[in-house]
Structure 1
Amino acid sequence: MDTLIMVGQLLLGLSILVGLHELGHLLTAKLFGMRVEKFSIGFPPKIAGFQWGETEYSIGAIPLGGFVKISGMVDESMDTEQLSSEPQPWEFRSKPAWQRLIVMLGGIIVNVITGIVIFVFLVYQNGETYFSKDQIIENGIVAYEYGESIGLKTGDKILNVNGQEYQGLNELSSGNVLLTENAYYTVDRDGEQIKVEIPKGFINVFNNEEAFDKFISVRFPFKLSAIDQGGAAEKAGIKVEDKILAVNGQPVTYFDELQSALAKSKNQDAEITLLSNGDTTSTTVAVTDRGTIDIGVNALIEPVRRSYGISEALNKGTARAFGVVIVNAKALGKMFTGEVSAKNVSGPIGMAKIYGHTWDWTKFWSITGLISMILAFMNLLPIPALDGGHVMFLLYEMVSGRAPSDKFLENAQKVGMVILLALMVFAIGNDILKFFTGW
């Protein structure tokens, strides 16, 4: 069932985005009087379709893209028979270059608009929830495996990032921060300011959602919320109203301190100092082999929750949408230098795992908005067979006054298709290796 939910979300998200992208091409083509022969969500073989006017609308069996076939255009169908005859008024090739340019940008523009609308709606509907800089400075952080690997320590109070202010915890592991040259955190460690450098390529460790849980979190004081019936704490006489002050004489203020102290006493008895009914008392508890005493706790700090009006949401959502493009452009550039590993390239399996195995509409639309902006960016790359390749040749035509020959465009399209197929095979290969080996 988990797999079905992941696949279902991926197919729905891609179908929406591909359909809207191709609709952008179709509407702009029809706007300029071009004949659109086919509109397909998914690649052949066709599994369903109908004819409406001059256009056949269909759904393909391979849900990894889609296409619009416009008369008189050299595209991925490689149907060039019509190019041997004189251009007809309804054909792509007979229209002015500026109209053809708008048609080729139509899908990209729609994806950008879709991404912006999704992010604006999410910001307006849900606002933001985060642990603030003030809470981090007051309580400090818990440094996990990846945080400790770069020199952060539990208890550090992060003052700024790259000398700049930050709003909340989520910004400390954002792509924008991790991809910055010579990035660093300024921390207060026991009253002393220390510069903790972020090593080049550190972003490569964040190749899955679980990796963020191994970086840092905010420290939080706690209170007991539950005592498991028949568990170690109940047997030792601990009540929900009690406050844990120390473990084996080690003072405990934050939950991570309690976890650390109990972990040292696995399968042993631990002396727990309590504040109970206003009095300080002690009891002995048998710590489990998991380093727990069968209790539940609640954090004594709550994340900040901010709401936004429509004008604020427009600004915030738009900035967030274009921020995705900026981060991906930086990552692509650093991939060519080797700083960002090509292992981070994901195919459909990786995308499905990002959606997750639970159906959460907020998460679904967040990821779909993210993918919409990435699709727009990737489609704009000047690779033949992508929209960006067509745009590149059209700009050349508009500047030079000479259109590339149909034969050249046909060969370029073939080269582009080979490149895209190779990238797809590489991405799917990455997915398979990660799935079976954790590579």
Structure 2
Amino acid sequence: MEIVIKLSQFLLSLSLLIILHELGHFIPAKLFKTRVEKFYLFFDVKYSLFKKQIGETVYGIGWLPLGGYVKISGMIDESMDKEQMALPPQPWEFRSKPAWQRLIIMLGGVTVNFILAFIIYIGMAFVYGDTFIANSDIKDGYWFENPAMIKAGFKTGDKIIAIDGSKVENFDNDLNMNIVMGKNVLIERNGQKQTLTIPKDFIDQLSKEEKGLLVKIRMPYTIGAISDEYPNQNLKVKDLIVSLNGQKIKYFDEAKPILDANKGKTIPAIVLRDLKETPITLIVSKDGKLGVNAGGISLASLEKLGYYKVSTKEYGFLESIPVGIETGKDKLFGYGKQLKMIFNPETKAYKQVGGFHAIYNIFPDTWSWELFWSITAILSIMLGVMNLLPIPALDGGHVMFLLFEIVSGKKPSDKFLENAQMVGFVLLISLLLFANGNDIYKAIVGK
């Protein structure tokens, strides 16, 4: 069932993005009286799952879910329809239209992608608002257990003050990504401020370690499950351990050194059960374990127990517009930074480029509309940015040649455009093979 949920979200998001992107080309083409021969979701290599002709356009669904396309008459594209291009230009063809109209048609897809992302972020601000913990309310610092973070110099209890000179206001989902994209992190440790430098190959280091958040808020030791193989059956699910061997503990990370110091012993403990302190005894295994899994705890419960103050900000419709635009802008610039790192060999970030399996894995295995729209928005930005790259066969390649034509007044020959299209197509196939090859490699080696 989990696979079905993930796959459903993946296909729904991908289909929505493809259809709207292609509509971005389709609508201005029709406005400029340019014939659109095909409008397809997914590729129809020798076979279509569905097709129907309405007017001059065949609408269909292909069987290969690697994208989609609109086939515009008189345009050199991935169809490489040389027979049509060998005939005299017709008034309804793309090549017969003024350069400025062709430019608008080619920019239509990425324009829709960017507009869609901003609309989603505006809608999310209006519907969900913001729930966060102010950075100033993280009194005892953050929890660091990722080996790459520890190697970079972070220690549990460090407070993060700023990243690359920008003050950290809140603990939210962007904090981890900002550290990955950052160069210097200002922290406070034991009342003293110091700057930690993020290694250039930090992304490569992260890929070699266990997956998970780089920065976590420190959580109480809550019991989520108890193993039948261990004798600590006097514990109950949802118990919260507040004392071990006479030492008070507030956070989960404080338990490990106490348990390590009492391996193979029976120690007194106090748990918070139904909001009442209850004394019990615990048996620590020879490897310093209690035989339990830590449980999750809601933000509301954390606030009720006095750990953190959870802030919720709601926005009216008009208020949500600037908030959504600001979020979209931050995500757009953030993705630009990621691309810059990928193309910088020193970072080795290219090793983490993923294909369709990587995108599929972004989606959760439980249905959440909030997460679905959040992921769809960032994928829309990614699709828009990637399509703007000046590579022949991408929208950005067509735009590059059209801008040259507008500036110079000289239109590249059809033969040149055909050759450029072939070079771009080979390059795209190579990138596709590399990205999906990375997915296969990670699946084999387990990283």
Range class of TM-score, shorter chain: 0.7 to 0.9
Q: Which runs of 5+ in 2 are unaligned?
A: none
When structure 1 is superposed on structure 2, of 323-332 and 364-373 the one drifting more is 323-332
- Is the Cα–Cα contact under 8 Å of residues 141 and 156 in structure 2 kept in the other structure? yes
State how 1:179-328 maps to structure 2 within 5 Å.
179-180=181-182, 183-205=183-205, 211-213=211-213, 215-220=214-219, 235=234, 246-272=243-269, 284-287=281-284, 291-292=289-290, 299=302, 300=305, 301-302=307-308, 303-328=310-335
The one of 70, 74, 77 equivalent to 1:75 is 77
1:55 paired with 2:52, answer no
Three-state SS of the structure 2 residue aligned to 1:131 is strand
- Which amino acid letter does the alignment assign opposite residue 100 of structure 1? R
Aligned to 1:23: 23
Q: Structure 1-normalised TM-score?
A: 0.88
- Which amino acid letter does the alignment assign opposite residue 409 of structure 2? G
Q: Deviations over 1:277-312 (max 9, x none)?
A: xx9997542135672376967633343322222233
Three-state SS of the structure 2 residue aligned to 1:49 is strand
- Is the Cα–Cα contact under 8 Å of residues 116 and 318 in structure 1 kept in the other structure? yes
How large is the Cα RMSD of the aligned pairs?
3.2
1:335 paired with 2:336, answer no
Distance 1:377 1:239 in 2: 47
Distance 2:271 2:368 in 1: 40
Distance 1:23 1:90 in 2: 18
Distance 1:403 1:432 in 2: 42
Q: Deviations over 1:114-172 (max 9, x none)?
A: 11111111122112222221122x12111212332211111222223233311222367
The one of 405, 416, 428 equivalent to 2:436 is 428
Distance 1:361 1:266 in 2: 45
Could you say if the C-alpha distance between residues 47 and 274 of structure 1 is closer, same or farther in structure 2, counting changes exceeding 3 Å?
closer
Distance 2:209 2:41 in 1: 29
Aligned to 1:131: 133
Three-state SS of the structure 1 residue aligned to 2:211 is helix
Three-state SS of the structure 1 residue aligned to 2:22 is helix
Distance 2:184 2:323 in 1: 25
Q: Structure 2-normalised TM-score?
A: 0.86
When structure 1 is superposed on structure 2, of 37-46 and 357-366 the one drifting more is 357-366
- Which amino acid letter does the alignment assign opposite residue 202 of structure 1? F
Q: CA deviation at 1:422?
A: 0.7
Distance 1:90 1:393 in 2: 21
Distance 2:222 2:355 in 1: 44
Q: CA deviation at 1:53?
A: 0.4
Q: Deviations over 1:316-342 (max 9, x none)?
A: 222222323322222222222211421
State how 1:158-173 maps to structure 2 within 5 Å.
158-170=160-172, 173=175
Q: Which runs of 5+ in 1 are unaligned?
A: none
Could you say if the C-alpha distance between residues 316 and 340 of structure 1 is closer, same or farther in structure 2, counting changes exceeding 3 Å?
farther
Distance 2:244 2:100 in 1: 74
1:384 paired with 2:392, answer yes
- Is the Cα–Cα contact under 8 Å of residues 179 and 185 in structure 2 kept in the other structure? no
Aligned to 1:371: 379
- Is the Cα–Cα contact under 8 Å of residues 265 and 291 in structure 1 kept in the other structure? no
Q: CA deviation at 1:268?
A: 2.9
Could you say if the C-alpha distance between residues 344 and 223 of structure 1 is closer, same or farther in structure 2, counting changes exceeding 3 Å?
closer
- Which amino acid letter does the alignment assign opposite residue 311 of structure 2? V
Distance 2:370 2:173 in 1: 20
Aligned to 1:147: 149
Distance 1:240 1:51 in 2: 60
Could you say if the C-alpha distance between residues 175 and 256 of structure 1 is closer, same or farther in structure 2, counting changes exceeding 3 Å?
closer
State how 1:341-356 maps to structure 2 within 5 Å.
341-356=349-364
Distance 1:31 1:354 in 2: 37
Sequence identity (%): 42
Three-state SS of the structure 1 residue aligned to 2:398 is helix
- Is the Cα–Cα contact under 8 Å of residues 221 and 241 in structure 2 kept in the other structure? no
Q: CA deviation at 1:350?
A: 0.8
Q: CA deviation at 1:7?
A: 2.3
Q: CA deviation at 1:416?
A: 0.7
- Which amino acid letter does the alignment assign opposite residue 412 of structure 2? P
- Is the Cα–Cα contact under 8 Å of residues 161 and 185 in structure 1 kept in the other structure? yes
**Count of aligned positions:** 431
Three-state SS of the structure 1 residue aligned to 2:166 is coil
Distance 1:163 1:348 in 2: 35
Distance 1:200 1:114 in 2: 33
Distance 1:11 1:223 in 2: 37
Could you say if the C-alpha distance between residues 395 and 239 of structure 1 is closer, same or farther in structure 2, counting changes exceeding 3 Å?
closer
